[in-house]
Amino acid sequence: MSFEETTTEAHERRIVRCSSCRAKIIWFKTGAGKNMPVDADTVEPEDAELDLSRHKSHFATCPNANQHRRK
């Protein structure tokens, strides 16, 4: 089953595009309250909390991640 076949409307509304590489991402709050982008294809529609054992940080996969790092 593909990603498009398993998604829901609410899940689709959470998906945005990375501003530099245009990949599909979903934002989660970390335990420290910071926002973290994760690759949308690692998120199930029912996922409400960040789980780093399953969700892949978009900082690890974005070819332009260095543009978004704080100095």
Q: How confident is the model at residue 15 (pLDDT cuts 50, 70, 90)?
A: very high
Average pLDDT, the chain: 87
Q: Are 30 and 49 within 8 A, CB to CB?
A: no
Question: pLDDT value at position 26?
Answer: 96
26: buried, middle or exposed (CB in 10 Å: 19+, 13-18, 0-12)?
Answer: buried
**Residues forming beta bridges with residue 57, ordered by sequence position:** 38
- Beta strand residue intervals within 5-71, DSSP E: 16-17, 24-29, 35-39
Model confidence over 27-57: pLDDT tens digits? 999 999 999 999 999 999 889 999 999 999 9
Domain definitions of the chain by residue range? 3-68
